[in-house]
Structure 1
Amino acid sequence: MTIDNAPVALRCEQPRRHPHPTVKAQAITHLIFERPDLDRAEAFLTDFGLIPVSRVADCLYFRGTGAAPYVYRVQRGSHARFVGFGLSVDSVADLERLAALPGASAIKDSPHPGGGRALSLNDPSGFLVEVLSGQSRVPELAHRSALAFNAVDALPRINSTQRPPIAPAEVIRLGHVVLELADFQATCAWYTQHFGFIPSDVQLLPDGSPAVAFMRLDLGSTPADHHTLALAQTFMAAYSHSAFEVVDADAVGMGQRVLAERGWKHAWGMGRHILGSQIFDYWQDPWGDKHEHYCDGDLFTAERPTGYHQVSPDAMAQWGQRMPKSFTKPRMNGAAFKALLVNLRRSPDVTLRKLITMARMFG
């Protein structure tokens, strides 16, 4: 086990690879949100660079320029909340193995764009996971090519200029989702055991307990994103953010310009992450939920071992603005205070000492 500048070791069972997972997820397919105002949701998401697919009754679907039929679903709800996300598997046989798990729904035809067969599960933290097999792909949409870059050692752009269009960043695809958890051990174990997620990098607190696990899909020798799912220890289950790939750093920067000019709230960026290496920029939707544009992320095959690192605010970015305290500050309301008190008594992963340590680190 390698610790980068951290005199600590992982002192918990999770996160670890599972030797014989129930199935191996192949991709993240979509996110699911409930919103009281679908028009307001559509305004933000189109400015962010997602493309409306359809509006059916009280449900909106959005896609990127890639071949996924949709990557984002917004359902009308009495209040704003993150519901869950989708994963794809290889076959109906995989769905049948998952259908044997406690709480799994029956396998049915998916009523959403792309169809296919599907079932749903709830993870130990209560997030919905929709699992799909046989979803149809759609023709990719045109997007601009990455801009040629004149570097010191390579000068491909002669007698031409850089003038990317002033427009929302073209989202190519959904890259990852990050969830906050009280029950870290049980939830992490569920994803590694039942979907084959591999911990790429783990950030540890001084006592050796995990603060964040960045987990990738097990695609064997095919390179996979550094993380498709990341899990962060806190005192209650909550959505942290989701991330969408764009073509290059100029798209990240142009996305920032357009979102700022249209009055949306900036959360953090631009910068380059340390773990995952992405160039990033984060924005808040009308309900305060963070959405990230990124490019140039790391890709790992299944053979890459897990890295372990000491967590700190300085471990979040190589350059750019230091992560603001507001980025990780929980929304404290009546429900959050209740969850704090309940989970301090109930969850083996939530302790007052751990919460005080994280509060001192991140404000």
Structure 2
Amino acid sequence: MTAPEKTRLITHLRHIDLAVPDLRTQTDFFTNTWGLKEETTDSGLSFLAAEGSPEQYVVRLREAADKRIDLISFGAANRADVDTLAARMASAGVQLVHEPTDLQTPGGGYGFRFFDNEGRTVEVSADVAVREHRKIEEGESIPVRLSHVVINSSEPEKTVAFYEQHFGFALSDTLMHPRMGNMMYFLRTNAWHHSLAVARGPHASLHHASFELRGIDEYMRGTGRALRAGVEKIWGPGRHMAGNNTFSYFLDPHGNTVEYTTELDLVDEDTWHPSLYDFSNPEVSDQWGTANAMNEFVAQKSFNDPDKGLFVAPPV
């Protein structure tokens, strides 16, 4: 195990918070089509849980004039680790949004927020109450959990270095292209192949948020339900080589890419060695060969709109 992994204090991905101009339409999509459950609402806020997840919520939606990532949230084991991380980051010159404090969001807890190197707001928390959740049954095509978040970066190497240095994230694999160089870095904070990935893009933005389903059958049923509902599919269904997970990418009502996936690899962190995959090889993008070809249209959709929330903390 490498030195960063020994000192890693981040345990897992908790939730992604998005601001959107039309809260009602976005909430309707995530609940009635995508399969999340609205657990709590507040003035201009909606907290959405995955039925199979112990997290209080996996998506928070906030109504705002500008579409943006409000924040990405990660868990820590305890309050002491939260304090240690906050102190480390402050001493390294990372700009904190606020010091560790008791949280007022559902489930409470203790956490702090900061800006990453490109200005995204990130939260680290511990002692959040566990949500009463359940085992997802055979045939239920609803998300079990938030699998991973992928962000676009105009300086992906610097962004990867930031999360490795300050959080102890480890590189699992890299996607490259013969003409364009390294294009995506898969980072893990536990045995899951990746909880965060960083893609090379023209600007900082959300590339996609991915939701784990129970298994192949449930993943295909969910994909079919979204198609029947008229949701725009941009890529899939297929199976990636890096991470070995399935993929079906759709656009939400505000043009964010969301993914259904399943069977993401669990790696042995003591023995894992990162691979460099050339995605000009069609089997790297899709082992099955069932997805539409990765092309400029798919890539452009995944670039998303430039994030208007950089170095501006969300109001809540």
User: What TM-score bracket applies, with the shorter chain setting the length?
Assistant: 0.7 to 0.9
Distance in 2 of aligned mates of 1:312 and 1:250: 29
Equivalence for 2:40: 54
Report the AA paired with residue 130 of structure 2. Answer: R
Distance in 2 of aligned mates of 1:27 and 1:60: 22
The runs of 5 or more residues in structure 1 that have no matched partner are: 1-16, 146-163, 337-363
Matched, 1:103 2:95: yes
Give matches, 1:185-200, under 5 Å. Answer: 185-200=157-172
Report the AA paired with residue 291 of structure 1. Answer: V
Cα drift, residue 18 of structure 1:
6.0
Cα drift, residue 108 of structure 1:
1.2
Larger Rg belongs to: 1
Distance in 2 of aligned mates of 1:171 and 1:332: 24
Q: Is the 8 A contact 1:22 1:97 kept in 2?
A: no
- Residue-by-residue CA offset, 1:94-153 (whole Å, 9 max, x unaligned): 2222222231221111111111101001111111111101111122134213xxxxxxxx
Report the AA paired with residue 287 of structure 2. Answer: Q
TM-score (normalizing by structure 1): 0.75
Distance in 1 of aligned mates of 2:78 and 2:114: 17
Distance in 2 of aligned mates of 1:256 and 1:297: 17
Give matches, 1:1-363, under 5 Å. Answer: 19=4, 23-46=8-31, 47-65=33-51, 66-100=53-87, 101=89, 102-104=94-96, 105-145=98-138, 164=139, 169-206=141-178, 209-217=181-189, 219=190, 224-303=191-270, 304-312=272-280, 314=282, 315-319=284-288, 320-321=290-291, 322-329=293-300
SS at match of 2:214: coil
Equivalence for 1:11: none
Q: Is the 8 A contact 1:176 1:227 kept in 2?
A: yes
Q: Is the 8 A contact 2:25 2:253 kept in 1?
A: yes
The structure-2 alpha-carbon separation of the partners of 1:18 and 1:239, relative to structure 1 and needing over 3 Å to count, comes to farther
Distance in 1 of aligned mates of 2:251 and 2:60: 17
Q: Is the 8 A contact 1:264 1:285 kept in 2?
A: yes
Cα drift, residue 263 of structure 1:
2.2
Cα drift, residue 313 of structure 1:
6.1
Structure 1 residue runs of 4 or more that deviate by more than 3 Å after TM superposition: 17-23, 205-209, 330-336
Distance in 1 of aligned mates of 2:60 and 2:161: 27
Q: Is the 8 A contact 2:156 2:200 kept in 1?
A: yes
The structure-2 alpha-carbon separation of the partners of 1:108 and 1:334, relative to structure 1 and needing over 3 Å to count, comes to closer
Q: Is the 8 A contact 1:192 1:198 kept in 2?
A: yes
The structure-2 alpha-carbon separation of the partners of 1:334 and 1:175, relative to structure 1 and needing over 3 Å to count, comes to closer
Cα drift, residue 335 of structure 1:
6.5
Distance in 1 of aligned mates of 2:229 and 2:47: 22
Give the number of aligned pairs.
Answer: 294
TM-score (normalizing by structure 2): 0.86
The structure-2 alpha-carbon separation of the partners of 1:189 and 1:284, relative to structure 1 and needing over 3 Å to count, comes to same
Distance in 2 of aligned mates of 1:265 and 1:207: 30
Cα drift, residue 24 of structure 1:
2.7
Distance in 1 of aligned mates of 2:116 and 2:84: 16
Cα drift, residue 324 of structure 1:
4.2
SS at match of 1:96: helix
Percent identity (aligned): 27
